[in-house]
Amino acid sequence: MPGTISFRRKAVDRTMKALFCLAAILVILPLFLIFFDLLIKGGKELKLTLLIDLPHPVGEPGGGIANGIVGTLVITLMTMLWSVPTAVMCGIYLAEYGKGKFASAVRFAADTMTGVPSIIMGIFGYILLVLPMKRFSAWAGATALSMIFIPVVVRTTEEMLRTVPTTVREAALALGIARWKATLRITVRTAWPGILTGILLAMARIIGETAPLLFTALGNQFWQSHLDQPMAAVPLQVFTYAISPYEDWHDKAWAGALVLIAMVLVINIAARVITRQKR
């Protein structure tokens, strides 16, 4: 009877919908668990001194991760300073000019690099800069992070440019605008919110990276304004504090993690706001 079939189909429909929804809950659950766990465990160390003080030696109460916060910001900005132009221009090349074998090779290399474990990038920075310079440095840290940042932004830039309709490029050329100008000032501009979102998401990703910095920036107990010297970074401090045997350092590790998540959250929210403005 048609009625029964329809009844069964509805039941299956509902069950499947519930399963999909359950999967969605499973996906967001860890984020909330981590966040609440961090709030509970790191909350008690989350004071102003955490943000403005240098680390104190073991046993001495108080102290903060101010040098790490600044170090993370400095290393991230250094990374982006040369990686954003390089990656965006490479993405433009792939989307607007890249038809041949060379372009396919670049695409393949970028995809492969995206999948390489980040510790390899740390070792790469170590071999490329730390060994020749004979010291750990912020430069080396930023170099290692670039290896993670660039391939991601190259591919998102390319994809975002591909969403720009051909009619936009044709309209620009038909106005008698030179091709490079049409590309930069019209095609890239059209795709810009998407490209910027990709840049911010990649930035959020490198802010939390620890492994690439272990062999490169190394970390530092003090302020460091020289970029050719070891520099502190929040992920490194979290790592050091977390593997230490001291109870009060563990609390700091939690608080540091909270700061890190907060930074990532701010960047992600910024990315969302930009994506929304696109419409």
Residues that bind other proteins (CB under 8 A): 99, 165, 167-168, 170-179, 181-182, 185-186, 189-190, 192-193
- Rounded to a whole number of angstroms, the minimum distance from the CB of residue 178 to other proteins is 5
The CB-of-266 to other proteins minimum distance in angstroms stands at 25
Least separation in angstroms between residue 185's CB and other proteins is 6
Type of residue at 10: K
Q: Which is nearer to other proteins, 96 or 158 (CB)?
A: 96
Residue placing its CB nearer to other proteins in the complex, 26 or 175 = 175
Residue 164 or 203 having the CB closest to other proteins:
164
Nearest approach in angstroms of CB 174 to other proteins is: 4
Q: Give which of 64, 30, 67 is closest to 50, Cα–Cα.
A: 64
CA 179 to CA 135: how far, in whole Å? Answer: 45
Taking alpha carbons only, the member of 25, 69, 7, 31 closest to residue 231 is 69
Nearer to other proteins, 100 or 115 (CB): 100
By C-beta, is 196 or 206 nearer to other proteins? 196
What is the spatial distance between Cα 209 and Cα 232, in angstroms, rounded to a whole number? Answer: 13
User: Closest approach of Cβ 198 to other proteins, in Å?
Assistant: 17
Choice between 128 and 168, CB closer to other proteins: 168
The burial class, CB within 10 Å (0-12 / 13-18 / 19+), for 74 is: buried
**What's the closest the beta carbon of residue 103 comes to other proteins, in angstroms?**
14
Taking 3-state DSSP, the helix, strand and coil percentages for the chain, each rounded to the nearest 5, stand at 80, 0, 20
The residue count for the chain: 279
What residues are paired with 218 via a beta bridge? 231
For the record, the structure tokens of 11 come out as 């039941």
Token pair listed for 258: 């909270």
Strand partners, 231: 218
Burial class (CB in 10 A: 0-12, 13-18, 19+), 190: middle
Residue 275 Cβ vs other proteins, minimum distance, rounded to whole Å:
13
Cβ 156 vs Cβ 249: under 8 Å? no
CB of 62 or CB of 165, closer to other proteins: 165
